[in-house]
Every structure is written in structure tokens, then in C-alpha cells.
Structure 1
Amino acid sequence: MDSREKTLELIEQALETVRPYLHADGGDVKLVELTDDLTVRLELLGSCQSCPMSAMTFRAGLEESIRKAVPHINRVVASNVPSLA
């Protein structure tokens, strides 16, 4: 397994720790891409797309979990929520 594959695996594991909370509110998250400059692009799904708390969930839940698991990530953005891009 190369370092990119390992990084993707760590990101997915981090997302799995948050998914139960998203599912409880009718939402989910999908890893869209890991760019060459180490930007993680996520897509918020279901009720997470329009939830007024999505920015807080994104920053305090998703981004924080990814940064703990993969500290060398440069940015975490939501590709389908303009305020989080």
C-alpha cells in the first residue's frame, strides 16, 4: 500500500467515526477526492446539505477528525456547500 492509499484509508476511517452522528440526523458524507496538494474534498449528503448546523458539524466533526487522523492534510473542503468550499 502506497502513502496515498494509506492516507485515503485513514481519511475514510476518520469519516466512519463521525458517520453515526450524521446518519442519526438523516445525513452522510462522501469522500470525493484527495488532491495532489493534500486537499480533502468532501460531499455532504442528505439533510447535511441544507442543515443550518452543517458548518459547525463540518469544522468540529469532520475536519477535526480528519486532521487528527492525518495531520499533514492541508485543507478540508465541502465541494457542494459554497460556504465550506
Structure 2
Amino acid sequence: MITREQVETVLDKIRIGLKTEGGDIELIDIKDDIVYVRLVGACGTCPMSTLTMKNWVETTVKKEIPEVKAVQAI
């Protein structure tokens, strides 16, 4: 079972990069091995946010927590 603590630990690593760009990420929920997050600040309105989600956030989370099936932005 994936815990909030596991996901938050990985998101903390991602936050470092997001904060340098004026953004952040929030963990909203975990259901059926899918992690739901929200990009906030500058990252919430960035036209590259879709790429950030797939190429960085999802890749990093799935690498660190192999049980995660997907990361979805809300």
C-alpha cells in the first residue's frame, strides 16, 4: 500500500526544483495506486506544466515508488 508519507518524501525532492521557478506541488489524494497532485504557483499556470507532470513528476514518483501506476494533475 502506498502511503502519503512515501509520496510526500518524493514530492519534497521535486519541490526543490519547482520552488526555484516560483511553483510548488500539493498531494491531493492516492486512490487505486494513482497519485493525484496539483501544481500551484507559477507551475500551475505554466504552459509547460503538462510536460513537467509527465517527464519529471510522474517519472520520479514511479521510479521511487514502483507501485504507483500513474500521477494525475487535478
Q: Is TM > 0.5 for Structure 1 vs Structure 2?
A: yes
Query: If each structure's strand is expressed as a fraction of its own residues, which one has the higher value?
Result: 2
Which residue of the other structure, out of 50, 62, 71, is the alignment partner of 2:66? 71
TM-score by length of structure 2 reads 0.89
Structure 1 runs not aligned, ≥5 long: 80-85
TM-score by length of structure 1 reads 0.79
Amino acid at match of 1:57: T
Amino acid at match of 2:20: A
1:21 to partner: Cα distance: 1.0
Larger radius of gyration: 1
Which residue of the other structure, out of 15, 19, 25, is the alignment partner of 1:29? 25
Identity %, equivalent residues? 34
Q: Distance in 2 between matches of 1:20 and 1:72?
A: 23
Q: Which residue of 1 aligns with 2:39?
A: 44
Q: Distance in 2 between matches of 1:77 and 1:8?
A: 15
